[in-house]
Amino acid sequence: MNNDGQLCFLRLEKHYRERHVLSIGRLTLAPGRIVHLTGRNGAGKTTLLKILAGLEPPDCCDVSLDHRSQPWQAVRQRLRRDMVYLHQHPYMFDDTVTDNLSYGLRVTGVPRARRRRAVAVMLERIGLEHAARRNARTLSGGEQQRLALARAWLLQPRVLLLDEPTANMDSEFRQQTWTLLQEMLNDELAIMVSSHELSKAECPNCLNLHLQDGRLNAGPPSLHLVGQDRSPAQDCLGVIP
Amino acid sequence: MDSLLQPTHEAFHLLITGDRDLWTIIGISFRVSLKAILCATPFALLLAFLLAYVSFPGRRLVVSIFETLMALPAVVVGLLIYLLLSRSGPLGDLRLLFTQTAMVIGQIVLCFPILVAMGYAAIRAADRRAWETALTLGAGRPRAMLTLIHEVRFGLLVAMIAGFGRIISEIGTSMMVGGNIAGHTRNIPTAIALETSKGHFAEGIALGIVLVTLAFGLNLTLNVLQRREAQAA
């Protein structure tokens, strides 16, 4: 992150064999913002999120943090530490809800007593305290999604990357998820959410980016914040209008 | 019919009354095979994991070689290890020929390809999201690997049981590098061969009953594990 907490990806390129999947000049993620990424199936949304999360290598990419630009490979571990990526269908370990929730804290060496307190508070917050000893795979889809978000939230990441978190959800669950995301958002967290479509009502303050032919564009004007000459989405891309 | 019933009756008698020689043979068999499977498993699983998750040229060829080696004849392994450990062989100075250690080495060679090939298949079949989720939640690669192994534990146990089933009943390697020395390197398969050749069918049948019971028990365990694996998926 820069001194203002921004994380900037520069000259990001990705090919799959002959196909040019991503070609992004600049992408900035700033805390306190939810960036909404749209694009059709196969546009490269998942690939982009995984590259940002340090899970999949780009062909080339520089990352600007701590006042200097470094190659993606050099900051890969840092990216993994600062970001949490959630799959479209979150993976639940074959363990109890409590063990799933505490996984990240356990592997990052948080002491047991602190871990227990944090997990207990979070279980209550997401309304799953009654299911604490159940195998996480027996939860409903909506409950698993909440558990996965809480599991990420406990780690207090700088950036949360969500891959189509509301796909295949009914409107009630979609609204619940968006409410939880708004609740999670604070001055130190940036959130990037990908999906096919988004209604303005679900996330009125989202910045919209559209991925097409491997390039990021500011989203449709109808989704920009009203009364601004230059959309925050363009700031995010560093595009001069 | 009496030629079968009489020795079978005697075999059960030997097993129930705890015939010392018989149970010594059974003890040696289990000790040697358990040592072999426990020594081979960590290295085989590490190799299986690397084959499943690290790309390098010829990876598929290496997997094919291990799959082929699953059917490696025990006598061929016995012959190779005999040549290595015999006095004139490159490892002759170690004086390991006709010891339990030599039998353990032979059985490691036999079960290693089974553990690698079946372990590789289990790890490859694991959901890729498990690996990515572990990494993104802060696990380093070694810790993420342990998490993945935990996720596919039933498949890996199946590989271990299949490997154990293969070596506990093999005769070629044990006979050639163990030497079938009573109370020392005589295990169930070599004892069955010897007792049968001497016409002592009761001892042979008693040991056969132990092997068949073990095979049944392993098969039952495999079925239970495979059902649990299917439920966990």
Separation in Å, CA of A241 to nearest CA in chain B: 36
Q: How many CB pairs under 8 A join A and B?
A: 52
Tokens of A119: 């997990």
B151 neighbourhood in chain A, CB within 8 Å:
93-94
H-run or E-run covering B28: helix B20-53
Please give the span between the terminal C-alpha atoms of chain B, in angstroms, as a whole number.
50
In the predicted structure, residue A229 carries a pLDDT above the cut 70: no
Contact call for B151 and A94, based on CB within 8 A: yes
Q: Which residue of B has its CA nearest to A103?
A: B137
A79 neighbourhood in chain B, CB within 8 Å:
none
- Residue A183 confidence (pLDDT): 82
Question: Using 50, 70 and 90 to split pLDDT, how confident is the model at A228?
Answer: very low
**Of residues B129, B139, B140, nearest to A87 (C-beta):** B129
Question: Using 50, 70 and 90 to split pLDDT, how confident is the model at B38?
Answer: very high
Contact call for B151 and A93, based on CB within 8 A: yes
A58 near B CB under 8 A = no
Separation in Å, CA of A70 to nearest CA in chain B: 21
Question: Rounded mean pLDDT of chain A?
Answer: 84
Residue range A185-201, pLDDT digits in tens: 887 899 999 987 666 66
A158 near B CB under 8 A = no
Interior angle at CA B138, CA A141 and CA A77, nearest 5: 130
In the predicted structure, residue A227 carries a pLDDT above the cut 80: no
- Residue A217 confidence (pLDDT): 85
In the predicted structure, residue B216 carries a pLDDT above the cut 70: yes
DSSP B174: I
B125 near A CB under 8 A = no
Domain boundaries, chain B: 2-232
A154 near B CB under 8 A = no
A108 near B CB under 8 A = yes
Class (C level, CATH) for A7-91+157-237: alpha beta
Do B123 and B52 meet the contact criterion of CB atoms below 8 Å apart? Answer: yes
- Residue A198 confidence (pLDDT): 63
ipTM of this complex prediction, to 2 decimal places? 0.87
**Of residues A90, A91, A104, nearest to B138 (C-beta):** A104
- Residue A200 confidence (pLDDT): 64
Question: Residues 59..88 of A with a Cβ closer than 8 Å to B: which?
Answer: 80-81, 83-85, 87
Q: Greatest CA span in chain B, whole angstroms? A: 69
Contact call for B138 and A155, based on CB within 8 A: yes
Question: Using 50, 70 and 90 to split pLDDT, how confident is the model at B29?
Answer: very high
3-state secondary structure of A133: coil
In the predicted structure, residue A236 carries a pLDDT above the cut 70: no
Contact call for B130 and A91, based on CB within 8 A: yes
Do B119 and B44 meet the contact criterion of CB atoms below 8 Å apart? Answer: yes
Q: Where does chain A hold its CATH 3.40.50.300 domain(s)?
A: 7-91+157-237
Q: Which residue of A has its CA nearest to B130?
A: A91
The span from the CA of A135 to the CA of A96, in Å, is: 4
* For residues A119-138, average pLDDT: 93
Residue range B73-117, pLDDT digits in tens: 999 999 999 999 999 999 999 999 999 999 999 999 999 999 999
B134 near A CB under 8 A = yes
What CATH homologous superfamily does B2-232 map to?
MetI-like (1.10.3720.10)
Do B144 and B69 meet the contact criterion of CB atoms below 8 Å apart? Answer: no
B123 near A CB under 8 A = no
Residues 6 or more apart whose CB falls under 8 angstroms from that of B4 comprise: none
Strand partners, A215: A212
- Sheet containing A215-218: give its strands across: A83-86, A159-163, A190-194, A34-38, A207-212, A215-218
A103 neighbourhood in chain B, CB within 8 Å:
134, 137, 147
The span from the CA of B208 to the CA of B211, in Å, is: 5
Tokens of B170: 């093999």
